[in-house]
Amino acid sequence: MALLRSVPAVRRFGPSLLRLAAGVTVLWFLVRLVGAAPFEDGLRAVTWDAVVAAVTLTALTTVCSAWRWRVVARALGVDIGLPAAAWAYYRSLFLNSVLPGGVLGDVHRAVTHGRRAGDVARGVSAVAWERLCGQVIQAVVTAVVLLTLPSPVRPALPYVLAGVTGVAGCAALVVRGAARRGRPRLARAARAVVADLRHGLLAPGVWPQVTLASVLVVAGHTATFVVAARVAGCTAPLGELVALLMVVQTAVVIPLSIGGWGLREGAAAWAFAAAGLGAANGVAIATLYAVLMLAAVTPGAGLLLGDAVRRRRGPGHSGESRGPDPVPQTIEAVRGLPAIPGDRPRYAADEALDLARGRTARPVTRAVQAAAIRRRIRIPLRLADGYSTTATVVSFTGLIDAQQHVALELGRPAAARPPLVRLHSECLTGDVFGSQRCDCGPQLREAVERITEHGGYVLYLRQEGRGIGLYDKLDAYALQDRGLDTYDANLALGHRADERDYTSAAQMLHALGANRIALLSNNPDKGAQLARLGVTVATQVPTALHLTGTNAAYLATKARRGGHDLLSRSLERAAEPHRHAGPVHLETAD
């Protein structure tokens, strides 16, 4: 019975115990073979110059590794900024160096980023693909080097490569056959792998960056190993030394070690002994390299300590968004300015209209509170006219207005430079019921197709009736039927002409990593607000002009009073009493 009760524990801790046992076994064998003196020689060989060189090279390789991770994560839809990726990579390198197995730091990095991105599974997938890509490219570089330069494994390398290729091919055939025999988990996994490769990693803008970053990482690690070898007194020719060190680096990626110790020293002992340089020298060099790398990744320890201190102080000191913030009562509260008692919410769009009327507007700063991605869900879309596509719907936490805005990720935003973005305010009557009083529905339909082709986002903002709400919008329609235009109707109801504030849109774009965009809009206020909120609008792309006999006056008012980039003269003519009965569909020229 005791044995049966221990089975779950064995399943849970078995792999970790196996890695620990493998590392201990290799180290024990090496001590029996060469004694403890080579390990002591490696420790005594440490110099400040070597430490500085290792720290510098590791900083460069860490940035390149973070760059590779960022490219892969963005391709898979869980983007991360380069500085954040670099600090997270330092944390993972330190944890890999001090914990058994050599992979727990990568697990920490994957889960932490996945939680912050709102999708742990995609976060783990991004790290797994990033590590796999790096190891595959390292293997290719190693094979090229070993086939070119003299090394102990060069005669057998063609057979090794043929064997690896055969095993990989057989594994692929087994997975394919199992999927065809109706095993749903394998079939889903195979489809997910194919989708990640086809739409993410093999995209034209992704694989060249991943390849370059990985080659630079391999070069940096090899240079650090060469520094360790020279400092330890190895005088072998550089070409032979590089070939030997590539063999050692190949062994390092196998997760059977104690904080990296074990296979690295064993591979170095075998390679240097086979080359006639002595197993003891290989162990000494590997030991020195391990010490230098531990010193080089100590910034990760400082970052982890800082994380622990911030967690102990509480959420207010953590620097992270942990949930929705309370709704601000005024725009001054949003901007960090003192609130005026009794003042009602004021929006940046009002300030733009005030400027147009010659009034002084209160300044809008570039500082935007951070939001975070809450969840990502893929949804197939089929629009009313039969057009179909697939969108990844993204929800958020920490939005300044606490509204449930969503982003529709369409096409491949990571491959678009810059992504095309549409800020679309909710319109139940136009988007859902096809109202002809506005052009909202046709604009949304146009945006979905254009952004799918280019790659980017539709931000669907809960701002019905330019921010006044559905019922008041319907009341404004009644006033428009009595002769008021769309802006004066809002004013008559006690609202501002346009109450939309795009701070939440800027937060969403920052969370998505889209800090530089092409804006699909005719409304200059959208681009102006985003620019003030820290989003670079590289270009503003006009939408088509969706003109009908019943929305001509509305569009003419938007062009005349709202400054929208529309064909004003055509609209004014269409708004005359003798209007066209049927729809007119024009494209704006600029």
Q: What is the DSSP string of 561-586?
A: HS---S-HHHHHHHTSSS--SS-EEE
Conformation bin of residue 319: beta by default, left when phi > 0, alpha when psi is -120 to 50: left
The one catalytic residue among 91, 109, 264, 500: 500
d(CA 39, CA 285): 9
33 lies in the same domain as 118: yes
d(CA 85, CA 94): 14
Indicate whether 201 belongs to any domain. Answer: no
For residue 103, give the 3-state DSSP assignment.
coil
For residue 153, what pLDDT is reported?
Answer: 64
384 lies in the same domain as 516: yes
456 lies in the same domain as 558: no
9 lies in the same domain as 95: yes
Terminus-to-terminus CA distance in the chain, angstroms? 79
213 lies in the same domain as 129: yes
Whose CA is closest to 508, among 347, 318, 374? 374
For residue 337, what pLDDT is reported?
Answer: 33
116 lies in the same domain as 259: yes
Whose CA is closest to 320, among 66, 75, 88? 88
Cα–Cα distance list, 192 to 76, 187, 323, 512 (Å): 11, 9, 30, 22
CATH of the domain at 473: 3.40.50.10990
**Residue 177, Cβ density class (10 Å: 0-12 exposed, 13-18 middle, ≥19 buried):** exposed
387 lies in the same domain as 528: yes
For residue 206, what pLDDT is reported?
Answer: 83
532 lies in the same domain as 584: no
Q: Tens digit of pLDDT per residue, the chain (590 long)?
A: 344 444 444 444 455 666 667 667 766 777 777 778 877 888 888 889 888 998 999 999 999 999 999 888 888 777 788 888 999 999 988 888 877 666 788 888 888 888 777 677 778 888 888 888 888 888 888 878 877 777 666 665 665 666 667 666 676 666 566 556 555 566 666 667 777 776 667 777 788 888 999 999 988 888 888 888 888 888 888 877 887 787 777 777 666 666 567 677 777 777 777 777 887 888 888 888 888 888 888 888 888 888 888 777 754 444 443 433 333 333 333 333 333 333 334 333 444 444 333 333 333 444 677 888 888 999 999 998 889 999 999 999 888 888 899 999 999 888 888 999 999 999 999 889 988 888 888 889 999 999 999 999 999 999 998 888 899 889 888 888 888 887 788 788 888 878 889 999 999 999 998 989 999 988 888 888 898 888 999 988 888 777 666 656 666 666 666 556 554 444 444 444 433 334 333 333 33
For residue 419, what pLDDT is reported?
Answer: 92
Across-strand partners of 520? 541
Indicate whether 269 belongs to any domain. Answer: yes
Q: Give the predicted TM-score (pTM) of the model.
A: 0.53
Q: Which residue has the tokens 């290719």?
A: 140
For residue 395, what pLDDT is reported?
Answer: 93
Q: Judge whether 548 and 436 are in contact, CB under 8 Å.
A: yes
388-397 and 372-382 strand pairing = antiparallel
65 lies in the same domain as 138: yes
Annotation marks residue 11 as catalytic: no
Q: Judge whether 414 and 75 are in contact, CB under 8 Å.
A: yes
Residue 394 phi/psi, 5-degree rounding, is -115, 125
Q: Judge whether 164 and 136 are in contact, CB under 8 Å.
A: no
Could you give the angle at which helices 279-296 and 37-44 cross, rounded to 10 degrees? 40
Indicate whether 425 belongs to any domain. Answer: yes
Q: Judge whether 376 and 118 are in contact, CB under 8 Å.
A: yes
The one catalytic residue among 498, 501, 525, 565: 498
For residue 392, give the 3-state DSSP assignment.
strand
Picking from 282, 309, 336, the residue at the C-terminal end of a domain is: 309
Annotation marks residue 500 as catalytic: yes
For residue 563, give its domain range.
549-590
537 lies in the same domain as 562: no
Q: Judge whether 82 and 67 are in contact, CB under 8 Å.
A: yes
Across-strand partners of 586? 545
Indicate whether 69 belongs to any domain. Answer: yes
Residue 521 phi/psi, 5-degree rounding, is -170, 155
Q: Which helix (H) or strand (E) holds 353?
A: helix 348-356
For residue 255, what pLDDT is reported?
Answer: 62
Picking from 264, 286, 309, the residue at the C-terminal end of a domain is: 309
380 lies in the same domain as 292: no
Picking from 309, 328, 363, the residue at the C-terminal end of a domain is: 309
277 lies in the same domain as 404: no
Indicate whether 330 belongs to any domain. Answer: no
Indicate whether 471 belongs to any domain. Answer: yes
Indicate whether 339 belongs to any domain. Answer: no
Residue 500 phi/psi, 5-degree rounding, is -80, 135
Whose CA is closest to 92, among 48, 58, 54? 58
Indicate whether 577 belongs to any domain. Answer: yes
Q: Which residue has the tokens 């992270």?
A: 320
d(CA 364, CA 367): 9
Cα–Cα distance list, 414 to 62, 75, 201, 492, 547 (Å): 22, 5, 11, 45, 34
Total number of domains in the chain: 3
